[in-house]
Amino acid sequence: MLIHADANAFNKLLEGKDTFIVDFFATWCGPCKMLGAVLEKVAPEIPYDILKIDIDENAKLAEEYEVMVVPTLLFVKDGEIIHRESGFFSKDKFRALVQAHMQ
């Protein structure tokens, strides 16, 4: 499920040792919009929440996690960041990333 979130929601899930994916994006970013469409299509197929975090509204959090490029996805398993992927990619690559890092 796609969830528009902020730093509080992100930190709460990290503390809870949850497994989820974070999409750092910006509303003005073309590749972010393209990846957003991919995530919307694939989200119902995966058992993990995808937190969408706007870097302009959460600049401190983006800086803390060294998000230099948008979109940037963080794969979080049991409260630990296990993989980072930046830029646009296809549905097939996203599915492969989920399979490789989250299962």
32 is catalytic: yes
Which of 27, 56, 30, 48 lies closest to 99, judged by CA?
Answer: 48
- The one catalytic residue in 32, 35, 38, 74 is 32
2 is catalytic: no
- The one catalytic residue in 29, 50, 53, 74 is 29
Beta bridge mates, 23 = 52, 73
What amino acid positions are annotated as catalytic residues? 29, 32
